[in-house]
Structure 1
Amino acid sequence: MKNLVIAGILILIGFSPSFAQDMNSSEQAADLAQLKLKNDTTVNKIKAEFSFFAGITIFGTKSKIRSSMIDYGFDDRSSGGWFSGPHNHPQVTGAPSIDLELTIFLKNRSGITLTAALSEYSEISGYNNNVGHLSITSRVVSWSLGYTYKSSDLRNQFTVAPALMSHKIAGPVKIEGSEEEIKYKIGLYACWTYKLVNKRHWFLNFKTTARWAPSTTVGPYTKEITNAWTDGENVIETYTFEATKVNVIIINAGLAIGWQKQK
């Protein structure tokens, strides 16, 4: 019996330090794992983002409309007015492209994104020496709901989605129909953003977007002038912007500022 007691004491003395050491090692490993998880830059700590974007239209429906105005003779040089000199035509003016976007992350780096955008607003103004100005306005509004994924460094973000696009075209009175039309298209939306500034509750991104939809027919539009000859006979001259198929491909680039909610 005495020998058994001594043996038990020796076992406790021999194994307790190693057991305690193993326990301490396990606790330290768990603490290190938690610390690594906390400081791991590949773990997305954002639950939701809401942003406002403003940028320029690098490429859009305006390109084809402008080239068609040249083809149909609306590329003359206007004489100007009291406060402006002569202008070359066609001229393109417009408004910035803007959008509102909401992203909800369902997993670590992936989620869904809802976007509403004024993708393009352009006014293309041509001029013909005989009949004067011809102006066509092209406006594209887009709505999309799609999939978003962040890269491992959490700075790059990619979104792809189907898009419902509304293309509004306004010009002079058409040969057939009204001077204003709205056509709805189902297309595609893709977006890439790069995080320039990332604070706890707000961020600033560089953002590029691309949208595509089936082509839209613009026109035909006519401009008429009545020439009075010396013998009293009036002759009507007609200049036509023929029906033109316009590819709805729009590329935007700019900055997005937004608010983000932490998990």
Structure 2
Amino acid sequence: MKAITNYKYGGPEVLKLEEIDRPTPQENEVLVKIKATAINPLDWHVMRGIPYFMRLMTGIAKPTKFNILGADVAGTVEQVGDKVRQLKVGDNVFGDIFNFGLGGLSEYVRVKEEGLVVMPENISFEEAAAVPVAALTALNGLRKFGPISSGQKILINGASGGVGTFAVQIAKIYDAHVTGVCSTTNLELVKSIGADEVIDYTNEDLPQSGRKYDLIFDAVGNLSLADYKNLLSEEGRCAVVGFGGVGHMIRAGLLGGKKIKMVDFKANQRD
């Protein structure tokens, strides 16, 4: 089968289109013929091995765990292991396979069945592949501090990005009052997906605006700890899913206390 491989860290030049052996599923795995995959910042972090702490998961000197990128996949089950019970040959499936070794940039991938779910019939493979990593990040970030309540004031920083657009729509499902932050170019986009208010960060100094929010969902990481505190209500909380740098990540994780938390999660079928 054909696959795009990478055996060393670096930019796009380390990627190679190769012919490799088609994988054989183990007893609790399925073999999926890939119909669509999506690229996320996760992929280029793994490809470059940056920030460097990621190499603790991927390999110190070179990528030893992930040699085919692609966490978001959608395709058709072609083969099932003897202990697979939830999926069958011919099922159209999708999922986030980061915890199963990546592999979306290939013709076939083997995945444990708990990494996949059957696709809704009314969406395409391309639409399904665009969902898992970004939408699951949004979902887990929004509920980091518990369920969202009706009328809750939520600020979504980076509302026009992949994660941010899902966050706006998910928050509106729970009838929250959503304020999206984006650039001038994307104001209409963020309004069109349901935001109650949209702030153009190029024209307004948001941290000094006096506005207060019950939850900040920061998908960018360009706000400081002082900014978070200025924008949070007395009982407000902040979920950080994007970072402007390692320093920001460390400060948010170590100094944020109970009000500011970094978002991490492991994909599961229920989500």
Provide TM-score, normalisation by structure 1.
0.20
- Bigger helix fraction: 2
Which structure: larger Rg? 1
Higher relative contact order (CA 8 A, sep 6+): 1
Provide TM-score, normalisation by structure 2.
0.20
- Bigger strand fraction: 1
